[in-house]
Amino acid sequence: MPPSKRGSQAVALDKAYRAELKAMRVAKNWSQTDLARASGYRQSFISNIEIGWQTPRITVLFDLLEALDTQPDVFMRAVLDRIEAISAESPKSCSEVSILDSR
């Protein structure tokens, strides 16, 4: 389903996971090229994921997390924390993010 039809929950989650993936890469002082080398994917693919032009399959995301030496549960907790922080800053724009209620 196209992003415009998924609703604000999915859009917020999508933005948060992309931002968190980039933050974890930057925290290791890695460039996109470094992550590409470590994971076996092209730098352009990493870039496209980070800017939202491509959405990786879950197996690709797990490969990237493995390259970053990050467990998937730690990553998802960080993504949810990021959504909570955004929600606290601007409750109107994230008021529909009910994924937080399901934890």
Does 1 fall in a domain? no
- Residue 2 lies inside a defined structural domain of this protein: no
Domain count across the chain:
1
Q: Which residue has the higher pLDDT, 43 or 3?
A: 43
70 found inside a domain: yes
- The predicted pLDDT at position 11 comes to 83
Domain annotation covers residue 96: yes
Domain with 18 in it: 7-102
CATH code of the domain in which 86 resides: 1.10.260.40
> Which residue has better confidence, 81 or 8?
81
Q: How far apart are CA 99 and CA 26, in angstroms?
A: 26
52 within domain boundaries: yes
Q: What is the per-residue pLDDT for 63? A: 97
pLDDT, tens digit, for every residue of 12-67? 888 999 999 999 999 999 999 999 999 999 999 999 999 999 999 999 999 999 99
User: Does the residue 87 lie in any domain?
Assistant: yes
